[in-house]
Amino acid sequence: ARRGDLAGRRVVVTAGGTREPIDPVRFIGNRSSGLQGYALAATAAARGAEVTLIAANTALADPAGVKVIRVETALEMREAVFEAAAHADAVVMAAAVADFRPAAPSESKIKKTDAEPEPIRLVKNPDILAELCARRREGGADAPGVIVGFAAETDDVLANGRAKLRRKGCDLLVVNQVGAGLGFGTPDNAATVLGADGSAVEVPRGPKEALADVVWDLVAARLPGRTAE
């Protein structure tokens, strides 16, 4: 049933982790490898979708048959997501986006002196996922039919996941269980996929491709105008 079930669909996937410059050589980053996003892009392409992968600072080979757009910062990712989302049936945001960025990155390398360093002032980054969902609610003409977010939670996984799903306004939220050797940089994942309709699908520990296929099953079932199989 999966083979070709996304044919004719355009999907956008984000992957990796943003880097927020402190100066030309330093940044604030995170440990996201991009493996889950790449698995999502590869499985969607294998199921026939036209895939745009927006990759932030990953060191992985481009998946076959996927258009890859490389970005570095959250602001660059935002621009790329909004541009690609305007023509997409579904958007899956698997990237780890920095919540904050240095307010005024230095144009030259910050030098070590005898004085104590200046503090780095941070400002909030836009929440791309929440913004995309808000635009859709406001009736954005070509907003994607299905929007999926990711969340890494360590405690009260389901309650926190439900609250985040509502706050963001997305259709599905993939809640990862982090810790216990799972998550960043590992080939395996375990997750619960929460739906805005109140559904919860448990995906046991397994390869990131297996979780990706479950996500696309749930996306495919929510795509408007789906032809009967």
Annotated binding site: 99, 109, 126-129, 150, 164, 168
Size of the site for ligand C5P (CB under 6 A): 13
Among 76, 79, 127, 217, binds ligand C5P (CB under 6 A): 127
CA distance linking residue 32 with residue 15, whole number of Å? 8
If binding is defined by CB under 6 A, does position 71 make contact with ligand C5P?
no
The residue among 66, 44, 36 whose CA lies nearest residue 178 is 36
Look up residue 93 and give its amino acid: M
Contact (Cβ atoms closer than 8 angstroms) between residue 18 and residue 96:
yes
Among 46, 90, 129, 211, binds ligand C5P (CB under 6 A): 129
Cβ burial 98-125 (10 Å sphere, 16+ → b, else e): beebbeebbeeeeeeeeeeeeebeeeeb
If binding is defined by CB under 6 A, does position 90 make contact with ligand C5P?
no
Structural tokens at position 166? 């509502």
Contact (Cβ atoms closer than 8 angstroms) between residue 18 and residue 29:
yes
User: Is the CB of 88 or the CB of 129 nearer to ligand C5P?
Assistant: 129
User: Is the CB of 5 or the CB of 20 nearer to ligand C5P?
Assistant: 20
**Residue 160 falls in the annotated catalytic set:** no
Binding residues for CTP: 99, 109, 126-129, 150, 164, 168
In the complex, least distance from residue 128 CB atom to ligand C5P, rounded to whole angstroms:
3
Helix (H) or strand (E) holding 68: strand 67-71
If binding is defined by CB under 6 A, does position 99 make contact with ligand C5P?
yes
CA distance linking residue 89 with residue 142, whole number of Å? 9
User: Is the CB of 26 or the CB of 167 nearer to ligand C5P?
Assistant: 167
Among 37, 102, 149, 161, binds ligand C5P (CB under 6 A): 149
The residue among 149, 105, 144 whose CA lies nearest residue 127 is 149
User: Is the CB of 42 or the CB of 175 nearer to ligand C5P?
Assistant: 175
Which residues in this chain contact ligand C5P in the complex, by CB under 6 A?
A: 14, 74, 93, 95, 97, 99, 125, 127-129, 149-151
- Active-site residues: which are they? 30
